[in-house]
Chains A and B, each alone.
Chain A
Amino acid sequence: MKKIVFLSLFFWLLSYKLSYSQNFIIGTIYYEDSLGEKLPLSGVSVFWENTTIGTLSDLDGNYKVPFSNSSNRLLFKYLGFKDQIIQYSNQSTINITMIEDENILDEVILNKKQKTIQKSYFKTQNIINVSSEELLKAACCNISESFETNPSIDVNYSNSITGTKQVKMLGLESPYLLITEENIPMIRGASQVYGLSFIPGTWVESMQITKGSGSVTNGFESISGQINVELNKPFSDSPFFINIYSNNMGRNEINLHSNKIINDKLSSGLYIHANKNDHILDNNNDGFLDHPISEALNLFNRWQYINPSKGTVIFLGYRFMSDKKEIGENTKDKVFIRESWLGEINTKRFDSNFKIGYVNPSIPYQSLGFQMAYSYHNQDSFFGKRNYLINQKSFYSSIMYNSIIGSTLNKIKLGLNYSYDDYDELFNRVSIDMISSSQRIDNSIGGFFEYSYDSLDEISLVAGIRYDFHNNLGNFFTPRLHLRYQPFEKSVIRLSAGTGRKASNVISENQNIFATGREIFLPKNVGKFYGLAPEKAFNYGVSFRQGFDINNRQGDVTIDYYVTDFDNQVVVDWEAQGEVSFYNLKGNSYAKSLQVDLEYEFNDNFYLKSTYKNYNVKKQYKTGFFQSPLTPKNRFFTNIEASTNTKKNGSKWKFDLTYNWIGKQRIPKHNLSLVKGFSNSYSLLNSQITKVFSKKFELYLGGENISNYKQDKPVLGGYPFGTDFDTSIVYAPLHGSLFYIGLRLKS
């Protein structure tokens, strides 16, 4: 651990040394509006005259352009404005005000604000892009929490003592999603439950959420969708960034980024995240800590090399993470005559990856990409008298070639993936003596081919197929198809269908079984999959989007309907008190999800999103065919985003309000439960206010669960070592209102 910290610091310092000379020019581009107010101008091309070295200004009008030896005249171009040329004479900052060219266009929209969640009319797949701006809306803390302002993904507590939140999409839990980090499968197997909480929110540049079966290029695992996370790139991220967060429940966080541009080709970034909560809190007086005592450290160093004239891009990164949570009874304020119930979850993880991409500069439609990643994940934990140990070592590698058939209307991707996972796990089914264990190596190699056709107007299509050889799952095809039809400019229909499979890591995916007195029943107590068959499902869906204009302001309505039909599923059965059983599906299992979104921009400073969701998630249990427990059938979501106009110095206020209504949920039977049958529906309110002082500094203040709704008695059972002890029945927030404050500083 210490060695890695030292090594990172050493590399980082080295990068400082290498970059003693100034190697790029930065500045801000403005324009004057009709009232003579200076406003930033984005999308301006900035490049050295007669070269291809250049860039575009960002949303705040900022640009950063590397030096060029072949020219000393910097050119600024933007449609509707006069070209400007600046003679370079050793200045490091060039700010410029563009002058409108009256002759060209009268009706160019100059300051179109970019939406923080973007849906495209042109992409074939149903992909929602989430920008870093959107991630700021939930200031805390990691990406599992950042989805709380996103209607496509639901966030739930997984149990009442670890404070872990789990995401769901299309009514299915995160294991049925393929979560990739820059297209490398990332959160799977051992990291399934806590993995999303190990990615700090500020590290993320953007996220792409694909609904329904995704592309075949990243493997066969995605069943209900894909989430791809793009992390900050050293070349484009701000040179320095710091974020500090603190809340009234004792949680403190710090994020630090430092990026160095070493020369016009090489850059390096160091990202540090640390959080700590040593506050002992038992507000609901159940004798258990409301949230774990925790501390975590997350370190990431990455290198980026770009050579535009040769067409190469290289990334190299390595990361270390350590996370410690202490859970259980409040032994500080209470004296127990008996042994107290305590627990600990210690996780250590190491990741490294290497990517190289090559685009033929003379034939821009041909490219070749290669990537490989290694990860080591170790969780050492105990929950009362139960132990759970899991260790996973993974290697992943892929190669992909992009080209065309005939013309760029017909594109092809072909390639190979290789993946290796070594799992080792051990746990107690009830108490110390009933031990189950599993050791397994998953080995697979697969080839894929994806064809896309784009008529550049109404129709586009992506058809992919892959064939995998898997040592435990056998050999199989995975076909996937996406169609897009846009009969009118603002109407688009998308269809998708495809299969997905997964080797289930049932225990690590369902760790909420441990903080209960339930006995775990598996078909077999040892062996690769404990006698459970691999999961297989077919997903299909349709999405319709209609844009409209009211008062010259844009809005749209989207209706999505997706169905996941399981051929085989591992059923996790919580229906009998004191037991949890895992068995192979016999009969039907499906998840049908309907989502209706309405978005409308009232004016430049006021934006509304509203969503209704209906989930029909049913499967055949041993005792009958019914809706999955703790899955609300109906949900309603509204988000309002407002801001004041940006002043000359860049200052403004931003307001954000999210309202969630969660319908009634089926509660598994438990004789101590206060709720029988179904829980009541409830509402949640989150809000955030940000004061932007300048482009470099902002302060934020927010509240979660402001209406203070919480579940009564989330921990069931008087004696925590008894069979009726249960922390898994959680349908509402555990905390009351939470307030936080923080700052962001960058240069």
Chain B
Amino acid sequence: MKQIVIFTLLFSSICYSQSNSISEKASFKVLGVCEMCEERIEKETIKLKGVKYADWDILSNNISIIYNSKKIDLDKIHRHISLLGHSTEKYKAPQETYNSLPDCCRYETIDPH
């Protein structure tokens, strides 16, 4: 019985440390239209060092992120995404990069319902 208690405490403390002390969560708007946008945004965001989880929702245009705040700050994530051609709440995408997006990803001209 004692062992089970110790094991459970140990296990939950691992989970706790993993989820709370390092990880932070954030959610913000990233403009985009289609599944191609989704693939681009998620793939390039998750590859950033320090980002643990990235999920962008087509319908709401919201990205949910879990990241290690010691390795990366939120501002950098915003900037990185905007440089892909997708404007975020904080940064507008450079016009040149935006222009290079495929037609179906042009969120400025296509009304994302």
Contacts and interface: CB of A to CB of B under 8 A. Distances in A.
B113 A360 contact: no
A457 B46 CA distance: 13
A408 B23 CA distance: 13
B113 A408 contact: no
Interface stretch (B47-55, B73-81, B84-92): B47-55
B25 A362 contact: yes
Given A103-B111, A365-B52, A407-B46, 8 more contacts: A362-B19, A363-B18, A365-B66, A407-B47, A407-B53, A408-B53, A456-B43, A457-B43
A103 B109 CA distance: 10
Given A363-B66, A404-B53, A407-B51, A104 B110 contact: yes
Interface range for B: 20 to 34
Contact of B59 (A45, A362, A363, A364): A45
A82 B112 CA distance: 10
A365 B53 contact: yes
Interface of A: 45, 77, 79, 82-83, 101, 103-105, 360, 362-366, 403-404, 406-409, 456-457
Contacts of A101: 113
Interface of B: 15, 18-19, 23, 25, 33-35, 39, 42-43, 46-47, 51-55, 58-59, 66, 104, 110-111, 113
Contacts of A79: 34-35, 58
Given A79-B58, A104-B110, A365-B53, A408 B15 contact: no
Given A77-B59, A79-B58, A105-B34, A409 B18 contact: no
25 contacts: A79-B58, A82-B113, A83-B113, A104-B33, A104-B110, A104-B111, A104-B113, A360-B15, A362-B19, A362-B25, A363-B18, A363-B19, A363-B23, A364-B53, A365-B66, A366-B18, A403-B18, A404-B52, A407-B46, A407-B51, A407-B52, A407-B53, A409-B47, A456-B47, A457-B43
Given A101-B113, A407-B52, A408-B52, A360 B58 contact: no
Which 7 A/B pairs are nearest by Cβ-Cβ distance? A456-B43, A407-B52, A363-B19, A408-B53, A407-B46, A77-B59, A365-B53
A78 B87 CA distance: 23
Nearest to B113: A83
Q: Is the interface of B mostly helix, strand, loop or mixed?
A: mixed
Contacts of B111: 103-104
Nearest to B15: A366
A409 B113 contact: no
A403 B66 CA distance: 13
Name which of A101, A362, A408, A409 has the most chain B CB atoms within 10 A of its CB.
A408
A101 B112 CA distance: 10
A456 B58 contact: no
Contact of B46 (A77, A366, A403, A409): A409
A408 B19 contact: no
B52 A366 contact: no
A105 B104 contact: yes
Contacts of B46: 407-409, 456
Nearest to A409: B46
Contacts of A105: 34, 104
A360 B23 CA distance: 14
A406 B52 contact: yes
A332 to B, nearest CB: 63
Contacts of B66: 363, 365
Contacts of A404: 52-53
B56 to A, nearest CB: 13
A45, A83, A456, A457 — most chain B CB neighbours (10 Å): A456
B64 to A, nearest CB: 8
Contacts of A103: 110-111
A276 to B, nearest CB: 50
A387 B97 CA distance: 78
B19 A360 contact: yes
B74 to A, nearest CB: 16
B44 to A, nearest CB: 9
Contacts of B15: 360, 366
A331 B76 CA distance: 85
A366 B113 contact: no
Contacts of A363: 18-19, 23, 53, 66
A79 B36 CA distance: 13
A659 B54 CA distance: 48
Contacts of B47: 407, 409, 456
Contacts of B52: 365, 404, 406-408
Contacts of B51: 407
Nearest to A365: B53
Contacts of B58: 79
Nearest to A407: B52
B82 to A, nearest CB: 20
Nearest to A406: B52
Contacts of A104: 33, 110-111, 113
A77 B113 CA distance: 10
A77 B60 CA distance: 11
Nearest to A101: B113
A299 B99 CA distance: 62
A53 to B, nearest CB: 15
Contacts of A360: 15, 19
Contacts of A457: 43
Contacts of A364: 53, 55
A363 B53 CA distance: 9
Contacts of A83: 113
Contacts of B42: 456
A139 B34 CA distance: 40
Max chain B Cβ within 10 angstroms of own Cβ: one of A77, A360, A406: A406
Contacts of A82: 113
Nearest to A105: B104
A363 B22 CA distance: 13
A363 B25 CA distance: 9
Find the residue from B39, B51, B52 having the highest chain A CB count within 10 A: B52
Nearest to A103: B111
A44 to B, nearest CB: 11
A403 B110 CA distance: 38
B33 to A, nearest CB: 8
B68 to A, nearest CB: 9
A634 to B, nearest CB: 42
A364 B57 CA distance: 15
Nearest to A405: B52
A366 B19 contact: yes
A296 B111 CA distance: 60
Nearest to B23: A363
